Homo-oligomer: A and B are copies of this chain.
């Protein structure tokens, strides 16, 4: 059954169960979907920041982006759990003979590739949501500024959580292009957070330590 079809309190219970899925990857996608929904709410309000028609055009674009990315995040809640379940299933394949070992190895590699791709897409979608939240903060109803700022923080956390899931599934192997892509998304997200004045106080500059 689709995870988002069950009551929200039961979904939380599923996260809390000691079963490995749903886990952090699905929670990251849920955070992205929640953030997208808040951005959609603010973009649908008739009031814009100053009433300038250019603001309405930018909010319509942010609305379209948040809807698309939010729909993807909703699907990724299930996709992430399915991907991780497939990895576990592949590891359980028999490995008595060399043939079985080869089959198992290929199955594990294929399942892990999906378990890297899914949270990568979650991170990409959270990046889109964060951009839309930034546009909503700059152009939307000032009374809803705490909603879009909450959305931005949640989308940042969703991206960060998804990135953690990409990295743990990449393991200690190579894949420098994938690592660079994750780093780039993370840097963009950090910059958006800083632009909104939401970045945590960083460590003291080196000179002060």
User: Which chain A residues have a beta carbon within 8 Å of chain B's beta carbons?
Assistant: 2-9, 11-13, 15-20, 23-25, 27-28, 30-31, 33-38, 40-41, 44-45, 70, 74, 144-151, 153-154, 156-158, 160-162, 164-165, 167-168, 186-187, 189-190, 193-194, 198-203, 205-207
Contact = CB atoms under 8 A, between A and B. Distances in A.
Given A34-B31, A194-B202, A207-B207, A146 B168 contact: yes
Given A34-B30, A149-B164, A153-B160, A200 B205 contact: no
Contacts of A19: 41
A-B pairs, top 7 by smallest CB distance, nearest first, are A202-B202, A150-B161, A205-B205, A24-B150, A190-B200, A15-B37, A157-B157
A164 B83 CA distance: 35
A196 to B, nearest CB: 10
Contacts of A168: 145-146
A7 B7 contact: yes
A189 B194 contact: no
A38 B18 contact: no
A191 to B, nearest CB: 8
19 contacts: A6-B7, A8-B11, A15-B34, A16-B36, A16-B41, A23-B147, A24-B38, A28-B154, A31-B31, A31-B157, A149-B164, A150-B157, A153-B158, A153-B164, A157-B157, A190-B201, A194-B202, A199-B203, A201-B202
